Amino acid sequence: MIHVDFIRHEERVVAFEMDGHANFAEQGADLVCAGATSIAFGMVNAISERMGVEPVMEEDDGYLYYSVPENIEADDAVQILLEGMEHQLISLAYSYPDYIMINSKK
């Protein structure tokens, strides 16, 4: 199962962590894993391009940790992108509850 944790400070998303494998299908054909990965990396890339910053992240097989750079975490556009990502992942989890779980930590 994929676990996604959104870490907040004063209602703003300051980081997220995605860990695990969906195991919905065999590797290379797992649409849940592909969807979650695409959503996460698409958002990291969108923030980086929009704000002109390098992503602050750690990644490994089945693991991604992204920390919003402090100088942009208060930016409304960054927060809208991160909240959009959260809602996309919640929608994915709604459709595939046995394969992905979303948590928001405050």
Domains of the chain plus CATH, in order, are 2-105 (3.30.70.1490)
CA angle 12, 88, 74 (to 5 degrees): 20
Q: What is the dihedral of CA 67, 70, 72, 78, to 10 degrees?
A: 30
CA atoms of 94 and 32, how far apart (whole Å): 11
Please choose, from the candidates 64, 71, 75, 69, the residue with its C-alpha nearest in 3D space to the C-alpha of residue 41: 64
E-only strand ranges, 10-105: 12-19, 56-60, 63-67, 100-105
The residues annotated as belonging to the active site are 21, 33
pLDDT for 28: 85
Q: How confident is the model over 73-89, as a mean pLDDT?
A: 95
Taking 80 as the threshold, does the pLDDT of residue 79 lie above it? yes
29-77 residue pLDDT tens: 999 999 999 999 999 999 999 999 999 999 999 999 999 999 998 999 9
pLDDT for 106: 63
Q: What is the pTM of this model?
A: 0.92
